[in-house]
Structure 1
Amino acid sequence: MDFLGKKLKESLKVGISERETLFIFAVPFLAVIGMSVVTAFAVVMASKFIIIMLTLAVVFGISSGAGAVYFADSKLKAEKDRLLEAMRTGKPEEMQTMVGREAAAAGAELKRAAEKERKSIRNDIGERMSRLNVRINEISMENETLLRKMTSSKAEVKDNTENLRKTVTIIDNINRGLSSMTADLKSISEKTNMIVGIAKSGTAVTGSEIQAMGKIKSAVEESADVIKELQNTSKETRKIVVSVAEIAKKTNLLSLNAGIEAARAGEAGKSFAVVANEIRSLAEASQQATNEIDGFVSNMEELAKRAVTVMSGQNKIEEAVNVVYTASDAFINIVNSLTGISKMLTAVYAISEEHKVDNDLLKVLSKKIESKLSELSGNIDSVFKKIKESMDVIKQISEETGEIERAL
């Protein structure tokens, strides 16, 4: 009805109040509603009373409509007469009052519409700003969570890089130890081979002396020389045995240090611990073998002394023959022991060289992993910086939206 009243005012260009508009349109409207309700009851009930009421409603509606039309027509005629009278008598104040009333009504209506539209827009903007702030807060929380995770990841990368550096340092130390050990093993092997050669040579000499025992008188001096050579050989053998024992001690100490370094390395040093234990076992075996050789050498020296004493008198030639036989057996035992030691040292040398190659490869791989971790750390720093810049922008947007909301 408000819409129809506005249209009526605009069409007729006359001042009709809200109450008058309500009277013009409400009565026929209510009459029509009443007619509709009564008609519905008449169709359903089909009673005479309802038909009578329907007839009365129709009459009332027609009468109300006629009255409303008459009222509107009277109002229009009165406004028209007033306007014509003002024009005829030349009263601009009256005309201005009528026009001003219409303009004021139109201005008030326009102001109400503008205020309503502004309020609607403000509410819509406020609602959108609220949703935007909620989303900004969610994004900020997600970025903060991501920053915390990236900080944790960066710390883990840093720890792993440091652990790799320690591992590389341990590998370098073990490689240096292995290099020193392999050099010592090589030297021991060479000296052992030399001892074996000397022992074989001594065995050959004693064999020749035994065969020459038939010529006792002519062979006494030669036998004395051989015994002296055996004494010298035993002295050299003792020196070599002392060197072997010292190297065995160093090897044992080196294996102990390698075991300590492997324990520091943790999981990455298990293979080194196995090598260290193997080296320690071989060092102990070498120590035991050198002790046996030392016993043999001492026995040989004692036998050589006895042989010299025997050679001092021809009446003891037969005893010297037995001593030479015993010395020959001692040389054979020495050769057998040194051959076993040589085989063990060769095996240890091969294992050390193999693990040295593995350590070199592990070092190269560790260097590559360290390089990748450094690159990853740089990428994390770059992403971290970008996220912080994004968070600063989001914070600035949030502040600006807050200012807009306060302005609304």
Structure 2
Amino acid sequence: MSRADLIVGLQWGDEGKGKIVDHMAQTHDFVCRFAGGHNAGHTIVVGDKKYALHLIPSGVLNPKAKNIVGNGVVLSPVDFIKEMVQFDNLDGRLFISDKAHMLLPYHALVDQAKERSKGEKAIGTTGKGIGPAYGDKIARVGHRMGELHDTEKLATKIIEFFEQNSAIFDVMEIDIPKKEELIAELDGYAKVLIPHITDTTQLMWKILDEGKKILLEGAQGTMLDIDHGTYPFVTSSTTVSAGACSGLGINPKDLGKITGIAKAYCTRVGNGPFPSEDFGDNGERLRKNGREFGTTTGRPRRCGWFDAVAMRHAVRVNGVDQVALMKLDVLDGFDEVKVCVAYEIDGKEINYVPYDLDDAVPVYKSFAGWDKTEGCREFDELPDTAKSYIQALEEMIGTKMGIISTSPDREDTIIRA
């Protein structure tokens, strides 16, 4: 019997999980997605090709790896099918949980209408329908992928839901779909997806018992977790390591090595508190150097310095064994690099993440910069000041930087024993 290794984001998402999953997937038999929807995106560079994945696990780029989409994911059939078209070798390599909830077009319309109604108080969602889909799941009015086996019955249930909530849909100016058109749409989904839909819980148990090498991946990051993030400016799922258990039907004893992913600085998309955000030239320089624009939406990301307080929080919540430090090369050329080591709230300095971060003022520690780390593949190749920065981060968060990325390229990765 084997244990499943896990990769989890430690910041506000967009940490570079895709590259590390792709790197580690080369030695794993299965890559399994446990949460989130197509609001998240992994950008992976292999040679001169760039891939943007939103729902299909990153293991798809390894022809030997098989891929599982777990029950914790909310899956947009239309977007999933668009993503599948990129690949021609998915038969027997891609499995979708029959218990995963469907994200249908009306969920996106509801999401966008709610954001518009909030005006300046909007959360800043991607408008993809993730929140409404998870909301329907929790309210027990959602629809699961297994229901595509009987599209007429599913269409009837969807129409009944619209009729029961007609007053709300009228206010949002969302029309009740015509049954014949809805069945045709669902039939299109079923034709492509049913060959891949299965009981992935049983599949997970089987491959664990067989001793297969398994890698688990989520979406977003710890600070966007529905419970442990900067609520309400969070996503709608459990993004931390514990979510892998409920999102795939496995238990905590099935988890193996947990690798947390973090940038050498911080970014965030959308609204909400971000204590170490830099509003000046340095923030703009980080955005430009790091090409910090969302894979899913293209929105410019807010940028700032590494937040060691939030990182300690994330490391403990997730039980992280090692950190993969991404985009170290983006800091190349800075004379000074800062790290947030504490927060000041109401004149009091604290070193933990409180209930409310709205008024948190960062307390910084400065480090000498360096010229060039881009392309380094051995720790000893790094400039001394970059090594000192990494070692200081390790002391602050209490975990080793076991992997260091020095460019988007798959090969520009330092693996530390």
TM-score bracket for this pair, using the shorter chain length = under 0.3
TM-score (norm 2): 0.15
TM-score (norm 1): 0.15
Relative to its length, the structure with more strand (as a share) is 2
Higher helix share: 1
